[in-house]
Amino acid sequence: MSADGFHVHGPHDHELEHAAEHEPDGMAGRLAVATAVLATVGALFSYMGGATQSNAGLFKNDAAIKKTEAANQWAFYQAKSNKQNLAEIAVDLAPEPRRAFYAEEAKRYKAEKGEIQVAAKKLEEESAAKDKQSEEQLHQHHRWAQATTALQIAIAMAAIALLTKSKGLVKGVFGLSIIGVTLGALAWLHI
């Protein structure tokens, strides 16, 4: 527009106005919106993938701690078994007045072993449960990673489709987007 209010449209101006008015409804506008949505959903999927990976590591660590505690209980159990065996031998070797004492000691060690065995088995079960939780979280992490990867590829394809104006690639973008969202839903549902 000129200073005195008179405006002449040139061919270039007309094309720019036409593109501005109609382009958001075209392929470029749809791809821009799709790319923004895909990037947002992909960021959420990526976050969930990282969270499940961290959880898998924490559960695996807890499982290792429980396994170590169980091993310690089994070592304690073995020590009590050795003391019980020594007390039982002492019953046969000790003088008569001391035999009753060693018989009671053997009985006490046997009872203590039972309590230790229950504790060790409980710790082993807890360790196995933590291992299972870790495996479930790792599986879920892989699903989130697959979903994120599919969406990242779809975003890259959207850029290529925009540059090449290829309708086939646009279909690929939406196809991969559906795959990515489906994988994300499977991760969300723990499938």
* Torsional class of 90: left (φ above 0), alpha (ψ -120 to 50), beta (otherwise): alpha
| pLDDT value at residue 16 | 47
Q: What is the mean pLDDT of the chain?
A: 88
Confidence of residue 59 (pLDDT cuts 50, 70, 90): very high
Q: Is the pTM of this model over 0.85?
A: no
| pLDDT value at residue 163 | 87
pLDDT digits (tens, 9 = 90+) for 88-134: 999 999 999 899 999 999 999 999 999 999 999 999 999 999 999 99
Provide the residue count of the chain: 191
74-97 burial, b at 16+ Cβ within 10 Å, e below that, comes to bebbeebeebbeebbebbeeeeee
| pLDDT value at residue 32 | 87
Confidence of residue 3 (pLDDT cuts 50, 70, 90): low
pLDDT digits (tens, 9 = 90+) for 34-47: 899 999 999 999 99
